[in-house]
Amino acid sequence: MPRAAVAAIFGPKDELLFIQRAERVGDVWSGHMAFPGGREEAHDASLQATAERETWEEIGLDLSGAVCLGALSPMSSPRDAAIKRLTVVPYVFRVEAWPAFTMSEEVAGIVRFRFDRLLAREARGTFPYTWQGAALQLPCVRLEGTLLWGMTLKMVDEIISLVEGG
């Protein structure tokens, strides 16, 4: 199964960084909130190196000097005929300062939320989603005009669980 890696990056004031993916035809994650990252390439020394390379390419943040706190649980992309199954490994990083970001065409914006807001489960709810003809109510977080859900929310929830000692 193809693999990918993303970077959950904590910075000053315990802010957690997210990207708003650009709207792109054919991209199943088009417009979604996510952590920077992408598919593993043959020249990547490791999946952590994939997360670091993709973060540099997408937002111009060099993680080579950042502290890597470790990896979270690997996740499989949803079963969907439109995409090949993909294993995604999230890595958690801490940086001392935010740079002047340079976003690639894959990124529409960058947002940062203080982690205590996520830890307090602020703005938790559900939203309607149709998948394979079924109407669903999926868990989400709505903060400042953003919608966190799906794999990204699962990653955030794992970080919350680790912080809470679970």
Give me the pLDDT at residue 166, please. Answer: 64
Cβ contact 47:5 at 8 Å? yes
- pLDDT in the model for residue 27: 67
Backbone angles phi, psi at 80, to 5 degrees: -150, 130
Looking at residue 25, its pLDDT comes to: 79
> Pick from 92, 12, 99, 111: which is nearest to 52 by CA?
92
Residues near 159 by Cβ (< 8 Å), separated by ≥ 6?
8, 16, 72, 92, 115
Q: Which residues contact 106 (CB under 8 A, 6 or more apart)?
A: 21, 22, 24, 58
Task: Let me know: does 139 contact 153? Beta carbons within 8 Å.
Answer: yes
Instruction: Decide: 79 and 1 in contact? Cβ < 8 Å.
Output: no
Strand ranges, E, within the chain: 3-10, 15-21, 33-34, 37-39, 67-71, 75-76, 87-94, 107-114, 124-131, 134-143, 146-149
pLDDT value, residue 24: 79
What DSSP character marks residue 83?
S
* All structural domains of the chain: 3-121 (3.90.79.10)
Full pLDDT tens readout for the chain, 166 residues = 899 999 999 999 999 999 999 987 766 667 899 999 999 999 999 999 999 999 999 999 999 999 999 999 999 987 655 556 789 999 999 999 999 999 999 999 999 999 999 999 889 999 998 878 899 999 999 999 999 999 999 999 999 999 998 6
Residue 82's pLDDT is 54
